Each structure stands twice: as C-alpha cells, then as structure tokens.
C-alpha cells in the first residue's frame, strides 16, 4: 500500500452529451471505483476534467460548492462558468495528465486513461487526423469542429468528433 491509497480526492466531471455541459464537483476515495459508479448513474457520458488531492477533500468540496454556488444547477452539478473552468485548469491535475505519485492501480495517468473519453489536445487530434495543428486551429476558429474549452484551452472528445463526421458526411 502506498501513500495515496485511501486519500480523498475532489474530482471535476463534466456531462458531455447534454446542454449545458454541467460539471459535477464531488469527492472520491477510489477514483476508478467512483468513476464506474458515476458513469452507471448518469445517462450522459462524462469527461474527467481534473482531480485535486487534499488532506480533507470533504471540506475542500464544501468550500468549492459555496464558492461556485451562484452557478449551482442542482445538488453537486454546476454550470460550466468561466470562473469554475479557470479554477479547474489552474488548481487540478488530470486534465493535463500531470504526474502524481503512483497509486495501487498504477499511475494516475493509467487511471485517467481507463476513466473515459479523455479530452484530446489540438496536437493529439491533428496527429490522429494526419494534418498540421494549424489546420485544426483554423477549423476551430471557423467552428467546423466540435470542441470544448477548459480553462481557455481547446479540447476535443474523439467520440463526439466521430459522431459529428458521421452526421456531416452521412457515414454509417
């Protein structure tokens, strides 16, 4: 057993199939187990935006709920307000796959890779589509590619891109 086993985390999960794309702020002692439960409980697909390790994650969660209360939609779900997205980008690990000490499940990167449709960067999408990153940026600017902004950074859900291509080009 290592030092992260049993440590609480605050997680930020976003519903990606609905509008608005609400963000849940919650706690977990086991991220993979909690993620499986969240996915089973929600009709919408979820994207993990970030996690924050804290000695008292429950207290941090309560503070965050109070801080972002004006954007609360219901329960632990919040509107994707710019201030909340900036907080997630500046204060969490995971969305950018920052390194944390290993857990009993392998690295946090492994947990996040198993967690769900990750949000891909411009460079990752460009590589998958075999085009230059500038081409992707141009299409984003023209609003030709579905994307989300997390703390001002552009991210793509590969599944959403594929569905969009099927609708746009009539693929089956």
Radius of gyration of the chain (CA): 17
Q: Count other C-beta atoms under 10 Å from residue 49's C-beta.
A: 24
Instruction: Give the tens place of pLDDT for each residue, 18-34.
Output: 888 999 999 998 777 78
Distance (Å, whole) CA 57 – CA 19: 28
**Residue 115 near residue 106, CB atoms below 8 Å:** no
In 3D, which of 24, 93, 100, 9 has the Cα closest to residue 58? Answer: 9
- Tokens coding 116: 């769900």
Given this model, what pLDDT does residue 159 score?
65
Place of tokens 């919408």: 44
pLDDT at position 60 is 95
Residues of the chain predicted below pLDDT 70: 1-7, 94-119, 150-151, 158-159, 162-172
Relative orientation angle of helices 31-41 and 108-115, to the nearest 10 degrees: 10
| pLDDT score at 65 | 98
State residue 112's pLDDT score: 45
What is the pLDDT, as a whole number, of residue 75? Answer: 94
Q: What is the pTM of this model?
A: 0.56
């Amino acid at each position: 057993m290592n030092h992260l086993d049993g440590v609480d985390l605050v997680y930020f999960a976003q519903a990606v199939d609905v509008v608005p794309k609400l963000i849940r702020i919650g706690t977990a002692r086991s991220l993979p187990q909690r993620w499986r439960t969240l996915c089973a409980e929600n009709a919408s697909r979820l994207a993990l935006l970030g996690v924050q390790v804290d000695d008292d994650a429950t207290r941090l969660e309560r503070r965050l709920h109070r801080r972002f209360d004006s954007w609360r939609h219901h329960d632990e779900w919040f509107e994707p307000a710019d201030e909340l997205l900036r907080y997630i980008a500046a204060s969490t690990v995971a969305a950018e796959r920052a390194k944390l000490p290993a857990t009993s499940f392998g690295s946090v990167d492994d947990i996040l890779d198993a967690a769900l449709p990750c949000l891909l960067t411009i460079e990752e999408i460009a590589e998958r589509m075999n085009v230059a990153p500038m081409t992707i940026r141009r299409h984003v600017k023209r609003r030709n590619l579905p994307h989300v902004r997390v703390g001002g950074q552009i991210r793509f859900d590969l599944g959403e891109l594929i569905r969009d291509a099927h609708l746009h080009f009539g693929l089956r």
